[in-house]
């Protein structure tokens, strides 16, 4: 039902009640000259993402920076800041990004940030009260609430919004890339439009889980308008990260489990295709990674859309996924629960089992979901070492 209603939304846009927008008829301002950075010393990630042969399997971890590291806890306490406050400072972001790179021999750094910074740029309040995950306390309850948002109209306005409200992130990207001094590449990232939409209309990953689907069904025109605007900003945001120094890009469709397959095809795939098409046109040299968590049925569509790396969640069948997704680099899909309750021996054994199934080539070893904060650093190190020691 959501598919048919949403499919007709575009034809109804002219009659929709328009929220407050940023309009711009001028083209986006020319990007400043690219900063000069040290040559890259470890390009395993980039070569693997491109499908090239590598001498050992590269590895990094979702949420590798942050709560599981004692140095992160100490840094937060020293600074007297919470997670969201750290994100406002490029210097704090750089320090937190670099902490896991100092501790582990991982093959990439990833920008220390949050998936909802784009929602914040639209004027949505984001909080993290502790113990309940990230929250959007003033989530959108109906179309009238769109008037509270700043919604860009067109590419130039989306780029302006990124410059005005997300420049602290791009400043952090340049600082991180500089401080890495070529040790490993830097991954930039963004949440995908549906994931942002899900939080903006539902407020939480744990409550109101049906709100996104309800909006698609009850408010198809307004849903499409918001998804389109989010997509434009995600494209400009990731493009700005590349200009600032990001060398790979990860797109997180983190809430794929809260949308039906029919609605995913109507509401999520068009944006994901548009992102891939635009990013490949602008930055063909930058590998593009995607994680459709809870929507593994979309992997073939995403491969066809042009993503270089497909991330596997826990539902992936390691026995068949290579045949189902030929010629593409895969990413994943170690269970992080073992990094909490396992032993170094069990972690190594499971890592080796994963690699035997998926193979060491055209693979970026990672997790099937992000670290939760209770993982033991010595077990994380055992996982990283086991990946690097594996040979086909």
What pLDDT, on the 0 to 100 scale, is given for residue 207? Answer: 78
Domain assignment present for 187: yes
Q: What is the pLDDT of residues 212-222, one digit of tens each?
A: 999 999 999 99
In a domain, 32, yes or no: no
Query: What is the residue range of 132's domain?
Result: 43-389
Taking only the tens place, the pLDDT of each residue in 348-381 is 999 999 999 999 999 999 999 999 999 999 999 9
Query: Please, are residues 309 and 287 in contact by the beta-carbon 8 Å criterion?
Result: yes
Q: Which two tokens stand for residue 340?
A: 């909490």
Residue 351 covered by a domain: yes
Is 80 among the domain residues? yes
Residue 259 vs residues 133, 180, 294: alpha-carbon distances, Å: 20, 38, 9
Domain assignment of residue 160, yes or no:
yes
Pairing of strands 21-23, 363-367: unpaired
Could you read off the pLDDT tens digit of each residue along the chain, which spans 392 residues? 444 434 444 333 333 334 444 544 343 444 566 678 999 999 999 999 999 999 999 999 999 999 999 999 999 999 999 999 999 999 999 999 999 999 999 999 999 999 999 999 999 999 987 666 788 999 999 999 999 999 999 999 999 999 999 999 999 999 999 999 999 999 999 999 999 999 999 987 777 788 999 999 999 999 999 999 999 999 999 999 999 999 999 999 999 999 999 999 999 999 999 999 999 999 999 999 999 999 999 999 999 999 999 999 999 999 999 999 999 999 999 999 999 999 999 999 999 999 999 999 999 999 999 999 999 999 999 999 999 999 98
- The answer to whether residue 17 sits within a structural domain is no
The predicted structure's pLDDT at residue 4:
41
132 three-class SS: coil
The domain tally of the chain equals: 1
Q: Fill in the DSSP letter of residue 267.
A: I
Give the CATH number of the domain where residue 344 resides. Answer: 3.20.20.210
- DSSP 8-class letter at 328: S
Domain membership of residue 163 (yes or no) is yes
> What local confidence, expressed as pLDDT, does residue 82 receive?
92
Q: What is the pLDDT of residue 31?
A: 53
Distances (CA, A) of 121 to 118, 137, 172, 272, 361: 5, 16, 16, 20, 39
- Residue 42 preceded by cis peptide, ω within 30: no
Is position 11 within any domain? Answer: no
The pLDDT of residue 5 is 38
């Amino acid at each position: 039902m959501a598919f048919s209603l949403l499919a007709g939304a575009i034809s109804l846009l002219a009659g929709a009640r328009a929220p407050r927008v940023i309009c711009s008829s001028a083209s986006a301002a020319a990007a400043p000259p690219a900063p000069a950075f040290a040559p890259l010393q470890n390009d395993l990630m980039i070569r693997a993402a491109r499908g090239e042969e590598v001498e050992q399997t590269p590895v990094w971890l979702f949420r590798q920076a942050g709560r599981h590291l004692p140095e992160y806890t100490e840094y937060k306490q020293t600074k007297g800041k919470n997670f969201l406050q750290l994100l406002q400072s490029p210097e704090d972001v750089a320090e937190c990004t670099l902490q896991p790179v100092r501790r582990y021999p991982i093959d990439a750094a990833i920008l220390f940030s949050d998936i909802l910074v784009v929602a914040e740029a639209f004027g949505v309040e984001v909080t993290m009260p502790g113990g309940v995950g990230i929250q959007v306390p003033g989530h959108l309850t109906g179309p009238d609430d769109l008037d509270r948002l700043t919604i860009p109209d067109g590419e130039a306005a989306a780029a302006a919004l990124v410059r005005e409200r997300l420049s602290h992130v791009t400043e952090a990207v340049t600082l991180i890339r500089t401080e890495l001094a070529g040790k490993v590449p830097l991954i930039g990232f963004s949440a995908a439009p549906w994931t942002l939409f899900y939080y903006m209309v539902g407020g939480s990953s744990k409550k109101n889980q049906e709100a996104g689907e309800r909006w698609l069904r009850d408010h198809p025109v307004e849903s499409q308008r918001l998804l389109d605007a989010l997509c434009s900003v995600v494209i400009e945001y990731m493009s700005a990260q590349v200009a600032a120094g990001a060398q790979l890009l990860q797109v997180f469709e983190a809430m794929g489990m809260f949308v039906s397959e029919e609605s995913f095809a109507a509401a999520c795939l068009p944006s994901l295709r548009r992102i891939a098409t635009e990013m490949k046109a602008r930055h063909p040299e930058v590998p593009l990674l995607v994680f459709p968590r809870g929507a593994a049925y979309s992997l073939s569509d995403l491969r066809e859309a042009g993503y270089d790396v497909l991330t596997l969640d826990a539902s992936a069948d390691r026995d068949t996924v290579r045949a189902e997704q030929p010629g593409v680099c895969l990413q994943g899909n170690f269970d992080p629960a073992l990094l909490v309750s396992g032993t170094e021996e069990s972690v190594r054994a499971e890592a080796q089992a994963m690699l035997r199934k998926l193979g060491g080539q055209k693979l970026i070893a990672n997790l099937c979901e992000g670290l939760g904060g209770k993982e033991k650093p010595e077990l994380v190190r055992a996982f990283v070492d086991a990946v690097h020691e594996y040979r086909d």
